[in-house]
């Protein structure tokens, strides 16, 4: 798992136990090391304290909490993305874009082509631009803004 020390510093400041306490960069680096490589690994020499036999229990516990925090935030993000996708699908369903290779699908494609390129109107069933716009509005529930965007 890729973990940035700056992310851990920000997260440490959010914890209630560190609200009034200064957080040091070395603590964040130790927590990042345990979060990346697991709780059972030993720290490299440059991250160890000067005292021998120190267990680093606090750092290991914070690393465990940080990994659960990352997993929870990832789940929340995925849920938000799912919600956005559902809303977009509902918008498409509201427009009633017909399924492929049906009569309505062909009518929709013809109307969109005529609005995009009015010179095709004569070749595509001799439908006027006005009729194509009305069909898109009434039958396929296009808004004026969407039709104007098609005309660009």
Say whether both 71 and 115 belong to one domain: no
Kindly state whether residues 111 and 79 are assigned to the same domain.
no
Whole-number pLDDT of residue 32: 95
Residue 30: domain span: 5-86
Q: Which residue among 86, 109, 141 closes a domain?
A: 86
If asked whether residues 113 and 44 sit together in one domain, one would say no
In terms of Cα–Cα distance, which of 3, 70, 72 is closest to 33? 3
H or E element at residue 14? helix 5-14
Secondary structure (3-state) at 81: helix
Same domain, 16 and 56: yes
Residue 121 lies in a domain: yes
22 and 40 together in one domain: yes
Query: Would you call 10 helix, strand, or coil by DSSP?
Result: helix
Taking residues 28-56, what's their average pLDDT? 91
Q: How confident is the model at residue 95 (pLDDT cuts 50, 70, 90)?
A: low
What is the reported pTM?
Answer: 0.58
* Dihedral angle over CA of 34, 38, 40, 46, nearest 10: -40
Q: 39 with 72, same domain?
A: yes
Residues 100 and 78 in one domain: no
What percentage of the chain exceeds 90 in pLDDT?
Answer: 47
Reported as a pLDDT band with limits 50, 70 and 90, residue 29 is very high
DSSP 8-state code for residue 35: H
Specify the number of domains making up the chain.
Answer: 2
With respect to residue 115, please indicate whether it lies within any of the assigned structural domains. Answer: yes
Q: Which of 134, 141, 94 is nearest to 111 (CA)?
A: 134
């Amino acid at each position: 798992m890729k973990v940035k020390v700056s992310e851990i510093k920000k997260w440490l400041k959010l914890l209630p136990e560190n609200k009034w306490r200064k957080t040091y960069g070395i603590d964040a680096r130790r927590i990042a090391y345990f979060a990346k490589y697991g709780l059972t690994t030993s720290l490299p020499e440059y991250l160890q304290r000067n005292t021998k036999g120190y267990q680093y229990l606090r750092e290991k516990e914070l690393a465990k909490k940080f990994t659960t925090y990352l997993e929870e935030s990832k789940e929340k993000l995925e849920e938000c993305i799912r919600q956005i996708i559902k809303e977009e699908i509902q918008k498409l369903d509201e427009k009633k874009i017909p399924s492929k290779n049906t009569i309505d699908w062909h009518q929709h494609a013809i109307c969109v082509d005529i609005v995009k390129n009015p010179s095709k109107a004569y070749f595509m069933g001799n439908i006027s631009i006005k009729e194509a716009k009305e069909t898109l509005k009434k039958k396929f529930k296009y808004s004026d803004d969407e039709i104007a965007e098609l005309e660009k």
